[in-house]
Amino acid sequence: VGYFAPERLPDVARAAVTIHRDFGDRADRRHARLKYILADRGLAWFKSELEARAGFALEDPRPLAWTRDTDWFGWHRQDGGLHFFGLSIVAGRLDGALRRAVREIVERLRPEVRLTPRQNLLFCGLRAEDRPVLESILAAHGVALPSALPPILRQSMACVSLPTCGLALAESERVAPEVITAIQAEFDAAGLAGLEVQFRISGCPNGCARPYTAEIGIVGESPDLYSIHLGGSLLHPRIADAYLTGVRRADIARRLGPVIREYAAESAGGESFGDYCHRAGLDNLRARHGNFPQ
């Protein structure tokens, strides 16, 4: 649509949300997203409406290049001598001790709280003296620092699915930690304990957790049956392809095991799991590892 300086983001976000509010389709959920407004009314209309609501003209679009594929976990410096802290919210589920810890951090330290597109939280605008307080609150509630989480769990995303979403075909958010832990064990056993791998699971093919751009994407097909998608690349416009379908949840990690072991043995230095699966070819991987004793 156009380029704008990062400090204009709140104005643009407000404009986009109000466009969605005023023109979004509330009668048909399958046609309810902002992207359908843009597709139906056209780019010129959308840009002009966005500019009118944001109060400034967008510049011409610029080439977009991603240079990171993780959130800003842990402590980082920000402008003004302040600090921010990125907290991993596993599968986007804020409950129990984690919820109590977040509540206490917000009540005591009053940070600016940002929700990231990867389902995590940033506590911004903190002073140096707030750092030990925040860490002591997390420790008191038994919440692990992001650096202490297994890397696949730390990077994971899940859609809400059952029991919240009426379109769900299979469990997602509630079973994500169990599935991830089993997959992490396969990486650990292959000697890849510290490897960062992007894992995402959705409860139906609508893919709200963006499984099709993950290195390992799991998509619910029916109760307890999932498809496994491999080969996505988060830094490049390449999506994952279906590797296997009709896999029982309890078998997901075991079905991935041979591919993970091949990756450990055959990948070139620094090659990501997703890049390796793409280079090896899913047909080839399926031919080598697709048949699996039930």
Among 32, 109, 124, 167, binds ligand SF4 (CB under 6 A): 167
Binding-site member from 54, 87, 122, 204 for ligand SF4 (CB under 6 A): 204
- Residue 213 or 272 having the CB closest to ligand SF4: 213
Q: Are 86 and 105 in contact (CB under 8 A)?
A: no
Question: For tokens 């643009």, what's the residue?
Answer: 12
Q: Residue 135 or residue 221: which is nearer to ligand SF4 going by CB?
A: 221
Longest CA–CA span in the chain (Å) reads 62
74-78, strands of its sheet edge to edge: 74-78, 82-87, 121-126, 112-115
Size of the site for ligand SF4 (CB under 6 A): 13
Identify the helix (H) or strand (E) that includes residue 36. helix 34-41
| Six-digit token string for 21 | 């509010």
CB of 149 or CB of 167, closer to ligand SF4? 167
Residues 126 and 111: beta-carbon distance below 8 Å? yes
Using CB under 6 A as the binding rule, the residues of this chain from 144 to 163 that contact ligand SF4 are 159-161
Q: Minimum distance between the CB of residue 24 and ligand SF4, rounded to whole angstroms?
A: 16
Kindly write out the interface string for residues 108-137 of this chain, putting x where it contacts ligand SF4 by CB under 6 A and - elsewhere: ------------------------------
Nearest approach, Cβ of residue 157 and ligand SF4 (Å): 11
Which C-beta is closer to ligand SF4: that of 120 or that of 272?
Answer: 120
Q: Angle 43-54/9-23 helices, nearest 10 degrees?
A: 120
What are phi and psi for residue 219, nearest 5 degrees?
Answer: -130, 125
What's the CA angle centered on 167, arms 217 and 98, to 5 degrees?
Answer: 65
**Interface with ligand SF4, residue 165, by CB under 6 A:** yes
Site for ligand SF4 in 206-245 (CB under 6 A): 206-208
Task: Decide whether 104 or 221 has the Cβ nearer to ligand SF4.
Answer: 221
The answer to whether the beta carbons of residues 273 and 243 sit under 8 Å apart is no
Contact set with ligand SF4 (CB under 6 A): 159-161, 165, 167-168, 172, 202-204, 206-208
